[in-house]
Amino acid sequence: MTQQATSTNKNPGAATGFDPRIVVFACNWCSYAGADTAGVSRIQHQPHFRMIRVMCSGRIQPAFVLRAFEKGADGVLVSGCHFGDCHYIFGNERAVEQFEKTRNVVKILGIEEERIRLEWISAAEGTRFAEVINEFTDQVRALGPSPFAREDAIEEIEAPEGGPCLTGEHGPSDADADAGGN
């Protein structure tokens, strides 16, 4: 038996057969590709997650994370490019700012901070993706089901619509609309 399998079996959540529902918001350019690398390389990892591809991790606002919890997620992972590799220059810096806001809201609502996580995973890091998803799944399994979940509908969660991660807006700015036309 492997070390990981041993630690999972000692977990109280594993004894009850609890498989946590994890929502992963992954940036299109690095983290989503890192998950794909794990898949095509046939790297074993926990299957209990719903991957949502977003253009940039900086786009993930607290409301998106809270919606995932409301829809039944037991944990939420936000993953983006490493610093210096962001396709939007400083989108991952914005992700840190948004994640801190999310962490504060989670604290206020009484949700365990261990149910959210921010990670940097590049397209070439399939092994790292697998390690992160395995660690996070075990961490959330130890916490048990989320008391915040109102329904079991994480499959209904869609990628957030709206503008790029850098504007802070939910769609095109008025200047963009004015420049586009008449």
pLDDT computed for residue 174 by the predictor: 36
pLDDT in tens, 133-147: 999 999 999 999 998
49-54 vs 75-80, strand pairing mode: unpaired
- Kindly state the average pLDDT of the residues 106-111: 94
- Kindly state the average pLDDT of the residues 51-79: 95
pLDDT class for 56, splitting at 50, 70, 90? very high
Please provide the DSSP assignment of 60-76 as one string. --HHHHHHHHHTT-SEE
Q: How far apart are CA 10 and CA 171, in angstroms?
A: 47
Q: What is the pTM of this model?
A: 0.78
For residue 154, count other CB atoms closer than 10 A to its CB.
21
Q: Which of 45-59, 100-114, 122-136, 156-170 has the lowest mean pLDDT?
A: 156-170
Q: Which of 3-12, 46-55, 77-86, 87-96 has the lowest mean pLDDT?
A: 3-12
Q: Which domains does the chain have, with CATH numbers?
A: 18-155+165-179 (3.40.50)
Regarding predicted confidence, which is higher, 8 or 109? Answer: 109
pLDDT computed for residue 39 by the predictor: 94
* 97 residue type, one letter: E
Q: Which two tokens stand for residue 156?
A: 């209904």
Residue pair 86/92 in contact (Cβ under 8 Å)? The answer is yes
Residues 6 or more apart whose CB falls under 8 angstroms from that of 83 comprise: 92, 93, 120
pLDDT in tens, 5-53: 333 434 444 556 889 999 999 999 999 999 999 999 999 999 989 999 9
Q: How far apart are CA 121 and CA 133, in angstroms?
A: 11
